Amino acid sequence: TFDRDLEERIGEAMGIEARAQGSDFFGGVCVNLPRHPGWGRAQETFGEDPCLLGEMGASMVRGLQRHVMACVKHYACNSIEESRFFVDVRIDERTLREVYLPHFKRCVDEGAAGVMSAYNKVSGWYCAQNRHLLRDILKGDWGFAGLVMSDFLWGTRSTVYAALGGLDIEMPLRRYFGRRLERAVRKGTVPEKVGDEAVTRNLRTKAR
């Protein structure tokens, strides 16, 4: 059933459980639109309709954020399992915005604290360093003020491109950020203001 009130209560229960275990961040509001029956997180999402995905995801965000920060994932076009680390989703702008992104925007408009980028590429660029997705659309068009984090381990593939593309946090280890990012700033390949922006987003979200 697509029961928004029930899903909000589910989100709140999950938020209470997370806080009881000492957590303050929940990285599990999955709103991907499944296109492949073998996709590994099909059971976590809410179906194949962008409107339903957005409404159910927003309900979970509302419930969770009474207690913890909610992170929406996996942004974007993540809908296949075996090739998710290298597949390049070639997509026109209208299909991207009308089919694969409206549900993410709905969750962002609901006030989600974070957005997690996907493993795959979209139109030639890995999502964690995809300037069009992260800077132009998410932070620009939608005015998202929260933090953008990578998917875990293989979600980040570059230091300079990821920083310039709009990634704020590399998870769960500092393979490309950390010392590599510090060197890139010292060399001038990543402007210091890019780091300032990421730090500001992280601290502002935590403070909120």
Query: Which residues are identified as catalytic?
Result: 151
* Whole-angstrom distance, CA of residue 61 vs CA of residue 49: 18
Structure tokens at 181: 């990012």
Structure tokens at 13: 């229960």
Backbone angles phi, psi at 148, to 5 degrees: -115, 120
Establish how many alpha carbons lie within 13 A of residue 100's alpha carbon, considering only the half-sphere containing its beta carbon.
21
Structure tokens at 23: 């957590």
Establish how many alpha carbons lie within 13 A of residue 87's alpha carbon, considering only the half-sphere containing its beta carbon.
15
**Which residue, 73, 172, 82, is CA-closest to 127?**
73
